[in-house]
Amino acid sequence: MNHSKNITKNLNIGIAGLGNVGEGVINLLQKNSELIEKKLEKKIIIKGVSAKNRKKQRNYNIDTYAWYDDPIDLARSGDIDVFIELIGGEDGVALEATQAAIESGKHVITANKAMLANHGNFLIEIAEKRKTLLLLEAAVAGGIPIVKLLKESLSCNSTAKIYGILNGTCNYILSSMENNSIGFDVSLKEAQRLGYAEADPSFDVGGYDAAHKLSILSSLAFGTKIDFSSIHIEGIEKISLDDIQAAKEHGYKIRLLGISEKKTSGITQCVQPCLVSDKSLISSIDGVNNAIVVDGNFVGAITISGLGAGSKPTASSVVADIFDIANKSTVSNLGMPTNKMKEFKKIDEVVDNNQYYIRMLLPNIAGSIASVTKSMAEYNISLSAINQRNNGKNNTNDYASVSIITDITTSASVNKVLDQIAKNGQVKGIPTIIKIQQT
């Protein structure tokens, strides 16, 4: 019954990768050292570091830490208890060093969502065999402690659904388009100028980063193996200001959401732009913030939000994992021993029943809306709202932008009716279809 810490020895760590997050971790451990020692009753000591360039100008002093040219040497060093992998990249040296650390019996902390999405099952299995911890709070949603929330606090719940805003870059772009009435390209450039988007933004705006995180969340929420490959991924590149403004007129905002849902036949995972009610809590998440909603069978819906990226918030998550190691956590790395986990069973999103937003350009002639709504009725799609905008930038004298909110239907039905409408020559170009997420 005695759970007291009977280790008084300090915890020795090694940090591989001294980018933004590495700098944040070193700053946090220095600035909050007194508080940390009080709480843990031991010190956290940085024993060694490794990065590409020892000579790089840094705002902090690394001279008192042992320098390792090769992170794998640091990973294997007998001087450390914990290896912190902040190198990045889904394989290569990050993966090799992580594996080397585990195999030499070290605990590992990583912020590397790409590596976990692709090799997480393997890494966690070898960590279990070596009875070391592989902790990953920093890999999902920056400073938001969603991993521990799922793994421990809400772990006694059976979870039916988890969804959220998992990419700050996309959320900045979408909310800035809305708040400043600017197009996607302008908003992206502004995000790049502010350092919120990379020079090559495709990884973020294409939805891949959010999908890496979602694959980890699904495993934690449902007790299944990580299955990145089964995620349906759409980015935000095609979202226009016209869509954002039309959605607004219907009482919605557009957000890039990662959504995982457990059904009787399996699990759906998707990352896609969605409409969310402008009354919902998730719609109030602006800028680079992230938010996640977990729906448990006893706790109900819990929402947690905060900064989803950045040096300092992500450092908070890395050090939270150091605390768990210092406190001798015995919780399984993904909340459940891997031999108790189910294989991930994918089901297709199309069986889903949802409301949809559809926007299309219709000829500016009498009867064109009537004709489209008649086609919809033939496919048993009833309409919740319809709106013709006169200030859409694609409006001309010949065409008007018409947006529709359907009642609950399936994406298959929506696609069929839009094919029919296209065949009939009733519409110009390709209509936009966006799912409406119930919040």
Which residues in the 56-95 window bind its own copies by CB under 8 A? 81
From the candidates 106, 113, 213, 253, give the one annotated as an active-site residue. 213
Q: Which of 21, 36, 97, 404 binds its own copies (CB under 8 A)?
A: 36
Q: Which of 10, 12, 121, 329 binds its own copies (CB under 8 A)?
A: 329
**Amino acid, single-letter form, for residue 339:** N
Q: Cβ distance 245 to 392 under 8 Å?
A: yes
Asked if 193 touches its own copies (CB under 8 A), the answer is no
Q: Which helix (H) or strand (E) holds 246?
A: helix 241-249
Asked if 332 touches its own copies (CB under 8 A), the answer is yes
291 vs 289: CA distance, rounded Å: 7
335 vs 98: CA distance, rounded Å: 20
Asked if 431 touches its own copies (CB under 8 A), the answer is no
Can you count the helices (H) and strands (E) in the chain?
A: 14, 16
When the beta carbons of 78 and 92 are compared against its own copies, the nearer one is 78
132-161 binders of its own copies (CB under 8 A): 132-133, 137, 143-145, 148-149, 152-158
Can 248 be counted among the known catalytic residues? no
Q: Cβ distance 141 to 289 under 8 Å?
A: no
Q: Which of 47, 76, 107, 253 binds its own copies (CB under 8 A)?
A: 107
Number of residues that bind its own copies (CB under 8 A): 74
Single out the residue of 151, 211, 107 nearest to residue 332, CA to CA.
Answer: 151
Asked if 45 touches its own copies (CB under 8 A), the answer is no
Q: Which residue has the tokens 């919040």?
A: 439
Q: Which of 23, 234, 242, 324 binds its own copies (CB under 8 A)?
A: 324
Q: Which of 20, 280, 388, 411 binds its own copies (CB under 8 A)?
A: 280
Q: Which of 120, 258, 296, 392 binds its own copies (CB under 8 A)?
A: 296
Asked if 377 touches its own copies (CB under 8 A), the answer is no
Instruction: Name the DSSP class of 200.
Output: S
235-274 binders of its own copies (CB under 8 A): none
Q: Cβ distance 284 to 300 under 8 Å?
A: no
When the beta carbons of 300 and 425 are compared against its own copies, the nearer one is 300
Angle at 22 between CA 145 and CA 104, to 5 degrees: 85
Rounded to the nearest whole angstrom, what is the least distance from the CB of residue 233 to its own copies in the complex?
A: 27
145 vs 394: CA distance, rounded Å: 43
Rounded to the nearest whole angstrom, what is the least distance from the CB of residue 342 to its own copies in the complex?
A: 10
When the beta carbons of 147 and 360 are compared against its own copies, the nearer one is 147
DSSP E strand stretches across 297-439: 300-307, 355-363, 383-389, 399-406, 428-436
**Amino acid, single-letter form, for residue 83:** F
Strand 82-85 with 11-16, pairing: parallel
Q: Cβ distance 174 to 210 under 8 Å?
A: no
When the beta carbons of 129 and 263 are compared against its own copies, the nearer one is 129
Q: Which of 39, 238, 374, 423 binds its own copies (CB under 8 A)?
A: 39
Q: Which of 322, 358, 417, 418 binds its own copies (CB under 8 A)?
A: 322
Annotated active-site positions, please? 213
